[in-house]
């Protein structure tokens, strides 16, 4: 099962890179939130379904 997830993540990364190349964009990491700004990962800690998934697969 873990190997399947690793393979899925690898192919997802490859597809993301190909899509960025076709759109002539570079893929980059998101910047850290500034003070008073909600981080992009905030819903992972407030949405009950995402909390359950995060705790289940951590």
Question: How far is Cα 2 from Cα 19, in angstroms, rounded to an integer?
Answer: 26
Q: How distant is the alpha carbon of residue 13 from its chain centre?
A: 10
Q: Tokens in use for 7?
A: 């393979």
Q: What is the pLDDT of residue 10?
A: 92
Q: What is the pLDDT of residue 23?
A: 82
pLDDT digits (tens, 9 = 90+) for 1-58: 889 999 999 999 999 888 888 888 777 777 888 888 888 888 889 999 999 998 998 8
Residue (of 29, 53, 51, 55) closest to 42 by Cα position:
51
């Amino acid at each position: 099962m873990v190997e399947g997830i690793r393979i899925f993540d690898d192919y997802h990364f490859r597809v993301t890179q190909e899509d960025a190349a076709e759109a002539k964009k570079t893929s980059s990491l998101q910047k850290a939130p500034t003070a008073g700004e909600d981080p992009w990962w905030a819903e992972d800690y407030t949405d009950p379904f995402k909390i359950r998934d995060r705790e289940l697969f951590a």
